[in-house]
Structure formats: structure tokens, C-alpha cells
Structure 1
Amino acid sequence: MKIVTLDAGTLPVELIKPDYCESWVYRASTTEHELLSVLDNAEVVITNKVPLRRAVLEKLPSLRFICIAATGYDCVDIDYCRERGIAISNVPGYSTRSVSEGVIASLFALRRNFNEYVRAARTEWSDSDHFCLHKSPLKDVQDATLGIIGRGEIGGAVARLAKGLGMRVLFGERPGQSVTREGYTAFNETLRSCDVLTLHCPLTPETREIINRRTLSQMKPGAMIINTARGPLINEEDLADALISGRIGGAALDVLCKEPPAKNNKLISLPHSNLIITPHIAWASETGVNNLIKGINYNLAGYFGGKVKNSVI
């Protein structure tokens, strides 16, 4: 039995080889052109973000099980695996607490202009005539309106935390859809009403670049955006332009369209005082990491025990 881990370097701790595993190929990273040689005769593969598409999968006759070290599974050709009978498991819900708390931390940082005041304390405070130094306005979180796109586990957890802070919460309906589901608000109305918009929907053809020049123009002037889901939900050029023009008051991005980003990425190099970019680590609190490792081990044990757990097919 051969198990291959393709991008173990995405985890801050090492996986432990199961007792029932005969051959464990543990790779920190794997490029797409290495896949065929690396996965030769492998029955099980563990991947986080390395894509497994039809062109590769059809040349791997021994492959029987894909364990995705994440909740999202857009990196795998689900339709082909269904045709071939390749089982797929993910790890649902492992990062709910970590990401939702990260969203609330970003929300406070944006509304309170932490970036600007931290910089000012180091560069301007010593020359101030007063004990305090006023820069951009400090906005309250209580009574602000939070728009949430996506009502899965994380979106729901963010809503509960936000309501506990006294925020008004709106769940946005899918773009272009009439409101038929209880507890939802029309997408355009959500954009117009929210002080902060946070994205928690999967990346699909319908949601790709859901935030773009047109939708940004519909948002309340000075509104803020948080994205901990998938980078391509946002058109980065359009967001950069909205930040530069002042149309959008700030953004906290834990994901970008290309990861790692190019050094000349427009958002990375943008000197905006209320732009926060973190390297895709909202999921990685101690609890999130522990939950993920347990989930991977649970899925592997399920497959080897003859019953696939957390199947996505």
C-alpha cells in the first residue's frame, strides 16, 4: 500500500505515518509536472492544493483514494473521479473556529484602522503636541451591518460572533436570484446596506469575481471587505482601484488569486493604510491545525477500514 503526500509543507506540523501504511512518500511540495512520476503505483494520495485533473488522473490506474487536507475540493476533478470510482474525502468544519475568529479580528482591525495607528505610534507620536494622536476616524463595531456571502459552517459561525457583538447581520442571496430562502437578503441590497462584507462562499463559475468593479460601485462608500474563502472571488485589479479611489474604506485579505503572489502583485505593493493581507493562515490556529490532522487520520483509517468517511462524491 503506497500513500503519497503531495504538499505536506502546507501544514505547520508533520503527519505521522499510520501503522497500516506500507509505503509513505512524504513530500513537502510537488509541482504539476512531477505528479505522474511521484504518484506511480500510488493507491492513496493526500493533497491540500496540488491540483489533480483528468489529464493526470487517467494515467494513474492504481489510484483508489484521494484524501483532501482541506474542506474545499475544487483542486480535484470530481466528475472524473466519480466515473472512475476513485473515492474522495475532505475534512469539513476543521477551521470553523479559527477562520470565524480571524474574520472578527480583521473586522476590528479594519474598523479601528489598526494599521494606520500602529504605524503612527512609531513614526509620528513622538512629535505630537498632545498625549493622543488623531488620524483616520475610529469606527464602532457594535450597530454596524455585516453582510455575509455564504451560509455554511464558517459563515454561520461568523454571524453568531457578530450578533454577539451587537452587529446587524445580513446573509446575501446569490447574485441575480430572487429572495426565496428565509433569512436571506437580496445580493444587491446586501451590498448597498453593509458596512463590512465578508466572503464565505465556494469558488464556482457563478461566484468567480463576484466582487468586481460593478459590485464594488454598489457598495456603501467607505465600506470594507474581508475575504478568507478563495482569492478569485475578487477581481484584484478592481479592488485595488476601489481602495485607491477611496470608494472602499479597507480590505482584509487572507487569500489572493495566485498563491504565493507575484512580487509585483498590485495589492501586495499597494501602500494603503487600511489594507491587511495575510498569507492564507486564517485556518491555522492551534485548534484548526489539530482538527485538520485528526480529520486526515480519520479519513485514512476509514478508507483502510473499508468505509470511506467524509465522502464528497
Structure 2
Amino acid sequence: MKIALDAMGGDFAPQAAVAGALLAAEQLAGRATIVLIGQEDAVRPLLQAAGPAANVLEFVPASQVIDMGEHPAKAFQQKQDSSIAVGYKMLLAGEVDAFCSAGNTGAMLVGAMFTVKTVPGVMRPAIANFLPKLHNNVGILLDVGANAECKPEMLEQFGELGSLYAQHVLGIARPQVGLMNIGEEEGKGTPIIQEAHQRLKANPHIHFVGNIEGRDLFNDKADVIVCDGFTGNIILKMAESIYDAMDEKKIQDPFFDKFNYEAVGGSPILGINDNAIIGHGRSTPRAIGNMLMQGFNMADSGIVDQIKATFKS
């Protein structure tokens, strides 16, 4: 198995990318190879400086970089030899089994939809994020930023996508799916949320447990929480701020340590024809390493085949 990494993506690239790749390569020894994609004059010296440890890494040159502030669609179209574009081309060709990047989020989404494309039957891909649970479990929240506005049908599909991921990657036998709302009652929320509730309730492919309020994010009421990308992104950033505040106050707790983005590494794009993960822009080597491990687990689980089979039927 091969896991590709955009070596030019992130605020601390390529140094953090190379260091993170070395961390992941050590953990994945004998199971997978890390493939770095980036500008040769920037990455080669770092590999040489790492010495023999870097011999296990593969390198593919890409002459261009899509910067964080660039327009995603325009940059992806114009920079076909960028590290993101080359990564997706390798993914499409089957040369790698997963592609990870802490670079331009929009460009990663554009690349996913225009290169490997959306699974037939899926209206829009979703970005998922992990939710630590109080009793040492982990759940999943989606969408967290790909789709600011959603139709009821999209929210229903997010429930299916999240349920499949929870089952096949997180190992939850019968994931409980909840819909983020302003109240538990069935009639609460906007007309879109109310219709999404009815669709999720009637969907035979999932175990829907009803509406979920914000206070239920970290308990065991639901393993999969569905929301639009606008709401999900606010929740995600709020969770990150909790960790940052506690870190600043020198308060340490194993549960709240899980709110640290470094421990998660990245967010999978669900609903596309291959395995792609988006990392945090300020990813450290630890975050990069965990993102690559997540890419390996995603590819190893066969989750994309499960999604294809479900939506084909």
C-alpha cells in the first residue's frame, strides 16, 4: 500500500511534512510506503538531511504549489503540476491508495470532485471530523465545511456516509445517527431540518435516534451527528478553541487532550471514489503523521467500496 502526502501543504511545509512522513513511516514499516509530492529543490535537501531514515520514503516532483489564499477552482485548473493536482492524478491512476494534504482546503475539495469524482448517487461529498466521547469512544460529525447550505436529501446522505464510516473504519457495529437541531422534539428546527428528520427516520440503512442538541456532542447518545457544513465548521472551531483555552490556562485532562487537532491529524472527504484526507493548515509533524495513519486506516478498511456498493443499490 502507498499513502501520498502533499509535501508543500500547510503553514510549516515542507519541513513539517517531511518530519511527519518520517514519523508515519516508522509506524507503518512493512505495511505501507509514504510518497512525498512537492518541489524538488525544497524537499530533496530535507530528505538528504534526514539521512538513512528517509530511504523508506518515495518522492515525486511537482513544480507548482497552490497557496492557501488562492482561489481553489482557478488555482487547481491553472496549476496542473501542483502538489495537490499531481497527488489526485496519482490517486486516480491507482498509483497510491490515499492522498493527504494540509494545504488549500478548497483546492482539495475541487480536486476530489473533478479528478477522482463523486460516487454515483452521492449528491455532494462531505468533510467529516471526529468527536471524542466521554467514555473513551469516538464519534463522527459531518459535514464540517464542504457544504454551507444543504438540502434535506443531502443531510440524509450524510447520515448514510457517516454511518458507513463509523461501522467500517471506527468499528462501531450499529452506529447511532443523530441530527443536530435546536431541540429534541421531532417538530423542531427549520423546514429543511424537519424534512431531513423525516428522511433519516425512514431510511432503512441507518439507525436513526432523532434530534441531537449541542449538549449531546460528547456523550453516547449518537455515534454519527449530521449537520450542514456551516454549523459543523462552527462546532469544529469551537472544540478547537476549548483545547486552546485549556492549554493556555495550563489545565491538562486526557479527555480534552483529544480536542487537539494534532491527535486527529485530518478530516476525511466522504462520498468520493477514493481516499482523501484534509489536514489542518497549521499542521505540525505530529499532526501530519497522524493524518497519514488515518489515510492508511481509511484505505485499509475498504470504506470507499462500501460506500459505492451502498449507493449503487
Asked if Structure 1 and Structure 2 have the same fold, meaning a TM-score greater than 0.5 normalized by the shorter chain, the answer is no
Question: TM-score, with normalisation over the residues of structure 2?
Answer: 0.36
TM-score between the two structures when normalised by the length of structure 1:
0.36
Structure of higher CA gyration radius: 1
User: Whose relative contact order is higher, 1 or 2, with alpha carbons under 8 Å and at least 6 apart?
Assistant: 2
